[in-house]
């Protein structure tokens, strides 16, 4: 039991969710090191949503609302850390939810789908086909899901699927606390924030922007991903330089 007044309470709870997810087959063993890398970058960014990340989250909400066929792609780490938040965002944005895994087994797909459904999400089902230009299991997706989507939210992703989705002309939104990752640099819109801080902000953005198409269009057309990445790196450099003072 983690005491609420522990200074690293939030981080310890996240670790517990990942460890639990690993033990019950939702998180891939490799997901534990992916989480550790995320924790390290979150430390550097100051464990807070920066101003530029908040702008990215609002822009993501606008992109999901304006999309014709938005899909939220969920992997093991995302399901373990944020299943209720995925359900909330699905409700707020109207996006479909599809499970897409790098370390894919049908058993994990079923476990993750069940976990998402238990937490209130509606998960797309069907026979996946190798529809993305990739040599690994992430190529498998549903024809009327990710393949037909115009906008895909891919939290905690590995870089080449992001590139493959973009090569098919899709808008790709990623949540990645590492502004140097290939995914962060390839996505249409990169939210450099921790997953469980970012998701509720995107949902709130959806409620705020509901029935405001011109505000959505303004956010989408004025967005500049290089600015978002540069701001995150400047934030890290400032934190490092303050630590030396």
Verify binding: residue 47, ligand PTJ, rule CB under 6 A. no
Integer CA distances (angstroms), 117 to 85, 87, 155, 204, 240, in order? 12, 8, 18, 21, 41
The CB-side HSE value for 183 (13 A sphere, CA atoms) comes to 19
How many chain residues interact with ligand PTJ (CB under 6 A)?
25
CA atoms within 13 A on the CB side of 189: 27
Q: Which is nearer to ligand PTJ, 64 or 80 (CB)?
A: 80
Q: Minimum distance between the CB of residue 95 and ligand PTJ, rounded to whole angstroms?
A: 18
45, HSE (Cβ side, Cα atoms, 13 Å): 28
- Tell me if 65 sits within 8 A of 108, measured CB to CB: no
Select from 21, 22, 41, 132 the one that contacts ligand PTJ (CB under 6 A): 41
Using the rule CB under 6 A, give the single segment among 120-128, 151-159, 204-212, 227-235 that binds ligand PTJ. Answer: 151-159
Angle subtended at Cα 70 by Cα 142 and Cα 228, rounded to the nearest 5 degrees: 120
Residue of the chain from 49, 90, 181, 203 that contacts ligand PTJ (CB under 6 A): 181
| Range in contact with ligand PTJ (rule: CB under 6 A) among 1-9, 35-43, 45-53, 211-219 | 35-43
Please work out, in degrees rounded to the nearest 5, the angle formed at the alpha carbon of residue 126 by the alpha carbons of 122 and 131. Answer: 115
Identified binder of ligand PTJ from the candidate list 72, 88, 102, 202, rule CB under 6 A: 102
Which residues contact residue 234 at a Cβ distance below 8 angstroms, ignoring those fewer than 6 apart? none
* Binders in 55-94 for ligand PTJ, by CB under 6 A: 75-77, 81
Q: Which of 17, 21, 35, 164 binds ligand PTJ (CB under 6 A)?
A: 35
Give the closest residue to 105 by CA, choosing from 30, 48, 199, 156.
30
Residue 178 near ligand PTJ by CB under 6 A: yes
101 binds ligand PTJ (CB under 6 A): yes
Q: Are 127 and 109 in contact (CB under 8 A)?
A: no
Contacting residues toward ligand PTJ, per CB under 6 A: 28, 30-31, 34-35, 37-38, 41, 75-77, 81, 101-103, 156-158, 175-178, 181, 194-195
């Amino acid at each position: 039991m983690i005491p609420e007044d522990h200074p690293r309470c939030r981080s310890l709870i996240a670790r517990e969710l990942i460890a639990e997810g690993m033990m019950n087959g939702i998180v891939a063993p490799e997901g534990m090191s992916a989480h550790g890398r995320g924790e390290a970058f979150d430390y550097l960014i100051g464990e807070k949503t920066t101003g530029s990340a908040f702008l990215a989250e609002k822009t993501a909400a606008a992109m999901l609302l304006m999309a014709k066929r938005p899909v939220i792609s969920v992997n093991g780490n995302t399901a373990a850390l944020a299943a209720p938040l995925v359900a909330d965002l699905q409700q707020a944005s109207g996006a479909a939810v599809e499970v897409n895994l790098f370390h894919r087994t049908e058993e994990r797909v079923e476990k993750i789908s069940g976990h998402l459904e238990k937490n209130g999400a509606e998960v797309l089902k069907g026979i996946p086909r190798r529809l993305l230009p990739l040599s690994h299991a992430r190529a498998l997706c549903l024809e009327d899901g990710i393949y037909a989507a115009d906008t895909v939210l891919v939290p905690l992703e590995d870089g080449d699927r992001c590139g493959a989705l973009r090569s098919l002309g899709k808008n790709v939104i990623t949540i990645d606390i590492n502004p140097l990752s290939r995914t962060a640099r390839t996505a249409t819109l990169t939210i450099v924030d921790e997953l469980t801080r970012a998701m509720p902000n995107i949902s709130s953005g959806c409620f705020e922007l509901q029935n405001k198409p011109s505000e959505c269009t303004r956010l989408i057309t004025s967005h500049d991903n290089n600015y978002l990445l540069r701001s995150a790196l400047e934030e890290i450099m400032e934190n490092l330089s303050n630590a030396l003072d």
